[in-house]
Amino acid sequence: MKTIDNYNFENKKALIRVDFNVPLNSEFQVTDTSRIEAAKPSILKVLEDGGAAVLMSHLGRPKGQVNPDMSLAHIVDKVSEIIGVQVKFVNDCVGDSVNAAIAELQDGEVLLLENLRFYDEETKGDAGFAEQLAKNGDIYVNDAFGTAHRAHASTTIVANYFPENKCFGYLLAKEIQSIEMVMQTGEKPVTAILGGAKVSSKITIIENILDKVDNLIIGGGMTYTFVKAQGGSVGDSICEDDKMELALDIMKQAQEKGVAIHLPVDVLAADAFDNGANTQFLDVNKIPDGWQGLDAGPQTLENFKQVILDSKTILWNGPVGVFEMENFAKGTIAVGKAIDEATKNGAFSLVGGGDSVAAVKQFGFQDKVSYVSTGGGAMLESLEGRTLPGIAAILG
Active site residues per annotation: 35, 198, 354, 377
Q: Any binding-site annotation on 353?
A: yes
37 within 8 A of 83, measured Cβ to Cβ = no
Helix (H) or strand (E) holding 149: none
Q: Any binding-site annotation on 58?
A: yes
**How far apart, in Å, are the Cα atoms of 46 and each of 42, 107, 169?**
7, 9, 10
Handedness of CA 244, 247, 253, 255 (dihedral sign): negative
* AA identity, residue 47: L
Q: Any binding-site annotation on 169?
A: no
Q: Any binding-site annotation on 373?
A: no
Q: How far apart are CA 360 and CA 349, in angstroms?
A: 12
Q: Any binding-site annotation on 324?
A: yes
Nearest to 218 by CA among 260, 268, 190: 260
First to last CA, the chain: 10
Q: How far apart are CA 383 and CA 54, in angstroms?
A: 31
Q: Any binding-site annotation on 17?
A: no
Q: How far apart are CA 250 and CA 277, in angstroms?
A: 33
Q: Any binding-site annotation on 293?
A: yes
Q: How far apart are CA 8 and CA 95, in angstroms?
A: 28
Q: Any binding-site annotation on 355?
A: yes
Q: Any binding-site annotation on 117?
A: yes
Q: Any binding-site annotation on 59?
A: yes
In whole angstroms, what separates CA 300 from the centre of its chain?
Answer: 27
Q: Any binding-site annotation on 231?
A: no
Q: Any binding-site annotation on 326?
A: no
Q: Any binding-site annotation on 248?
A: no
In whole angstroms, what separates CA 192 from the centre of its chain?
Answer: 15
Q: Any binding-site annotation on 361?
A: no
Q: How far apart are CA 193 and CA 337, in angstroms?
A: 14
Q: How far apart are CA 261 and CA 248, in angstroms?
A: 12
Q: Any binding-site annotation on 21?
A: yes
Q: How many Cβ atoms are within 10 Å of 51's Cβ, its own excluded?
A: 22
Known binding positions for ATP: 202, 293, 324, 353-356
Known binding positions: 19-21, 35, 58-61, 117, 150, 202, 293, 324, 353-356
